[in-house]
């Protein structure tokens, strides 16, 4: 039986710990705001840019973590986090929440153990969107201590998982109902039906989308590796009339940085007459640069070359095949990529070899060529198979609205 708590008009608090988690939190917050509920955000990692872009107030003084996360990188990355004071910063954020808990009516934890721990330490009732864990990794989810114990707390009124398999697994492990309502990070993207199928491309032209990630300077290093993959594509694929090349870039990666770094690899930054899009050009290769157009670039793609976490999940949700390219890290490393393949299934693949090695770049280019050619050979069967994978591993669009409705049922607004 669900515990009852006094209903108040206090704002709800979104508590998250990562760039992808902030995105999902911001989308849930927007859905709540559309129903008249005031929401605030307390990001535990980074500045919470997704919240700010959504018009949601971010509390306290924030700081960026150079590794992009806390505790999920290599030992070297964890030692760097300690030297930079990231764990002390996290503790300060959690203590801030404890001191100011009386300001909030409900806490919505988005992520993994850390926001769940923050919810528990606040002493407030709340709900959890456990986006960071999935039973697809191992077949049975092994929650880190003490996450399982915390999730059994009666103050946690609802728990939502990132897929149906995990919901069933956790319901049995925790002895309470865990529901799958979809993944908010899919909301706001173009629908599957809005993009042309590979067979409908004019004159046999396909599109390769590059997703180098959102964290700087890692995103820049990943992009430089991707440029070297493009140079190794078969000559017929290097022709603009055969393969359109597009890259989705974050605002922190500006034109000046690109011009200097890509120039060292023989690429030139240009803006062709009559076009609003800047391009990087090297011989016949022509890479279109896109800032603020991630969703459109992703939907337009036939194949995605990715060094990204949440963006790869969104690609799978849109039935796009993903070819991983591991970089120097600290986030998108070989171990991260291997775990991602277990999570997202056969729609994601990666060339074998050391990250950044010439042989690995060659193998990645060859695999890209095979995947693009395979789409023409398989036609509709290929696309239908990717749609099944997306439905199984990611779920339908509309997760943020479903979670907002469940939250509103927990804490009705006093008007």
Does residue 4 belong to any structural domain of this protein? no
Query: What does the block give as tokens for 302?
Result: 């036939």
Asked if residue 245 and residue 173 are part of one domain, the reply reads no
Please name the residues in contact with 142: beta carbons below 8 A apart, sequence gap of 6 or more.
Answer: none
pLDDT of residue 150: 95
Does residue 14 sit in helix, strand or coil?
strand
Closest CA to 228 of 368, 353, 356: 356
Does residue 128 belong to any structural domain of this protein? yes
Does residue 180 belong to any structural domain of this protein? yes
pLDDT of residue 369: 96
Asked if residue 215 and residue 154 are part of one domain, the reply reads no
Q: What length is written for the chain?
A: 415
pLDDT of residue 2: 52
How many domains does the chain divide into?
A: 2
Instruction: Please give the average pLDDT of every successive group of 10 residues along the chain, which has 415 residues.
Output: 54 92 95 94 90 92 64 52 65 89 94 93 95 90 93 95 95 96 89 49 81 91 98 92 94 90 94 77 95 93 95 95 93 92 94 94 96 74 87 92 94 50
The angle at the Cα of 25, spanning 333 to 13, to the nearest 5 degrees, equals 130
Asked if residue 210 and residue 179 are part of one domain, the reply reads no
Inter-residue contact 236 to 333 (CB < 8 Å)? no
Domain of 179 in residue numbering reads as 12-188+397-410
Does residue 170 belong to any structural domain of this protein? yes
Does residue 2 belong to any structural domain of this protein? no
Inter-residue contact 213 to 311 (CB < 8 Å)? yes
CA distance 293 to 164: 30
Does residue 32 belong to any structural domain of this protein? yes
Asked if residue 294 and residue 172 are part of one domain, the reply reads no
Asked if residue 404 and residue 256 are part of one domain, the reply reads no
Asked if residue 214 and residue 284 are part of one domain, the reply reads yes
Strands (E), 49-200: 57-58, 106-110, 126-130, 156-161, 179-180
Asked if residue 168 and residue 224 are part of one domain, the reply reads no
Residue 288: enclosing H or E segment and its boundaries?
Answer: strand 285-291
Asked if residue 322 and residue 184 are part of one domain, the reply reads no
pLDDT of residue 7: 42
CA 196 to chain centre: 24
Report the CATH number that the domain containing residue 150 is assigned in CATH. 3.40.50.2000
Asked if residue 263 and residue 214 are part of one domain, the reply reads yes
Does residue 26 belong to any structural domain of this protein? yes
pLDDT of residue 191: 59
Asked if residue 225 and residue 129 are part of one domain, the reply reads no
Asked if residue 335 and residue 252 are part of one domain, the reply reads yes
CA distance 385 to 319: 8
Asked if residue 53 and residue 116 are part of one domain, the reply reads yes
Does residue 101 belong to any structural domain of this protein? yes
């Amino acid at each position: 039986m669900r515990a009852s708590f006094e209903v108040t008009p206090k704002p709800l608090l979104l508590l998250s710990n990562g760039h992808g988690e902030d995105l999902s939190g911001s989308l849930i917050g927007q859905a709540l705001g559309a129903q008249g509920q005031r929401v605030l955000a307390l990001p535990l990692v980074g500045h919470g840019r997704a919240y700010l872009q959504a018009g949601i107030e971010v509390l306290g003084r924030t700081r960026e973590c150079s590794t992009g996360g806390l505790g999920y990188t290599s030992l070297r990355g964890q030692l760097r986090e300690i030297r930079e004071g990231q764990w002390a910063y996290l503790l300060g954020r959690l203590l801030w929440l404890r001191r100011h808990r009386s300001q909030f009516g409900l806490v919505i934890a988005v992520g993994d153990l850390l926001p769940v721990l923050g919810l528990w330490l606040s002493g407030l009732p709340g709900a959890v969107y456990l986006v960071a864990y999935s039973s697809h990794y191992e077949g049975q989810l092994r929650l880190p201590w003490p996450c399982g114990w915390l999730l059994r707390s009666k103050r946690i009124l609802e728990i939502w998982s990132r897929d149906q398999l995990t919901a069933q697994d956790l319901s049995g492990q925790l002895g309470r109902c865990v529901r799958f309502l979809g993944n908010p990070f899919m909301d706001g993207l173009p629908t599957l039906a809005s993009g042309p199928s590979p067979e409908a491309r004019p004159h046999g032209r396909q599109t390769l989308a590059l997703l180098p990630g959102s964290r700087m300077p890692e995103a820049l290093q990943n992009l430089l590796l991707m440029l070297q993959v493009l140079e190794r594509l078969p000559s017929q694929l290097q022709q603009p009339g055969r393969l359109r090349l597009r890259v989705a870039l974050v605002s922190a990666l500006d034109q000046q940085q690109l011009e200097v770094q890509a120039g060292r690899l023989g690429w030139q930054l240009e803006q062709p007459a009559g076009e609003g899009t800047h391009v990087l050009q090297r011989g016949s290769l022509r890479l279109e640069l896109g800032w603020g157009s991630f969703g459109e670039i992703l939907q337009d793609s036939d194949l995605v070359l990715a060094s990204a976490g949440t963006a790869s999940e969104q690609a799978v949700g849109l039935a796009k095949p993903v070819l991983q390219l591991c970089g120097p890290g600290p986030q998108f490393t070989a171990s991260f990529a291997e775990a991602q393949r277990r999570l997202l299934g056969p729609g994601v693949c990666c060339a074998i070899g050391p990250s950044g090695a010439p042989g690995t770049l060659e193998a990645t280019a060859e695999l890209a060529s095979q995947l693009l050619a395979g789409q023409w050979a398989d036609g509709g069967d290929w696309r239908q198979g990717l749609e099944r994978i997306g439905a199984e591993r990611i779920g339908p669009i509309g997760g943020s609205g479903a979670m907002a409705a469940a939250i509103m049922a927990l804490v009705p607004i006093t008007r």
